[in-house]
Amino acid sequence: MKVGIVGASGYAGETLVRILLGHPGVELAAVTSRTHAGKPLAQVIPSVRGIDRGITFVPSDAAALAAGDIPLFFLALPHGAAAEFGRALVGSGKRVIDLSADFRISDVATHERHYGKHAAPDLLPHARYVLPELTAPEWKTGARIVASPGCYPTSILIPLVPLVRDGVVTREHIVVNSFSGVSGAGRKVEEGYLYVERAESAKAYGLVKHRHLAEIEEQLELHTGARTVIQFNPHLAPMRFGIATTITVPAAPGGTIDSLYASWRGAYARAPFVQLLASGETPDTAHVVGTNRIDMSAVHDPRTGNFVVTSAEDNLIKGAAGQAVQSMNLWFGFDETAGLL
């Protein structure tokens, strides 16, 4: 099956290129870039030298892509730009997997509070938010656009949703602290992201109203049946890749570490990319970078009555490109792990 990537020169797009070039079931037939059109793929992304199949970047022209014979496009574009391409591609019968936030939030007013005016609200009924481990398989019927989750939400929702849904933890007083590698900010030249500024330095940012908060809380309500408010504290860490998340949440009456792990095992017994570590063994970003895996574990603090839940993932793979390919595999009938092991 032919696939294309719109916006293939950013960090997520580059990661998609590497994964799809090694996927046994697809042919990477088009990669686009406004700045690199006409350049060989291997010149822009040297890591694919020798496996690039002679591919050359083409212009990011929505009408031209819509007129071609590629049935599926990945959109690795900034927020706001993806909707423009989504309209043209879906209108011509293509399917789309979007890595931006343009289709992640179903409520237009909520989206516009965090991202500004929505460029294609009429497309929202055709979109499905897909977190493969949690979203019911009915999403595959009728979807034209897959909204692939953000990196922070993935690290939070996978550990937290089963516990809230099964009543192992309370809905109140949930505090989430997450640390992201600098690649999560995208490929851009700004003083705050220079090596001298970020090396040996960690800081909180986006407190109280980080953009991903709306996505997290909407999905928590969708999966657990009631509104759930969390305190989300994102941090920028002096590392290139990875997300480490710590969730502090009160145990519900009767909740034990055994019932917590039973909830996780029930939810993820057949999830190939979720690894449950023993209580007390803390996940490490060094062990998940380069994989489509999320590692997680939990401990109970009898002094406070809280569970302390930790997770780690690669922000560009499980948190972006790898998860998007995982959704493609499920959508088009490939093995869920194809191209990802």
Tokens 């690199």 locate to 36
Prediction pTM value: 0.95
Cβ contact 45:305 at 8 Å: no
pLDDT for the residue numbered 189: 67
Q: Which residues, at least 6 apart from 168, have a Cβ–Cβ distance to it below 8 Å? A: 162, 251, 252, 255, 259, 260, 263, 307
* Catalytic, out of 72, 120, 151, 296: 151
pLDDT for the residue numbered 188: 67
Domain with CATH 3.40.50.720 in the chain: 2-148
pLDDT in tens, the chain (341 residues): 999 999 999 999 999 999 999 999 999 999 999 999 999 999 999 999 999 999 999 999 999 999 999 999 999 998 888 999 999 999 999 999 999 999 999 888 888 888 888 889 999 999 999 999 999 999 999 899 999 999 999 999 999 999 999 999 999 999 999 999 999 887 766 788 788 888 888 999 999 888 889 999 999 999 999 999 999 999 999 999 999 999 999 999 999 999 999 999 999 999 999 999 999 999 999 999 999 999 999 999 999 999 999 999 999 999 999 999 999 999 999 999 999 99
User: 303 catalytic, yes or no?
Assistant: no
Closest to 21 in 3D by CA, of 330, 327, 325, 332: 325
Rounded CA separation 50/52 (Å): 6
Domain with CATH 3.30.360.10 in the chain: 152-315
The CATH class given to the 2-148 domain equals alpha beta
**Assigned superfamily of 152-315:** Dihydrodipicolinate Reductase; domain 2 (3.30.360.10)
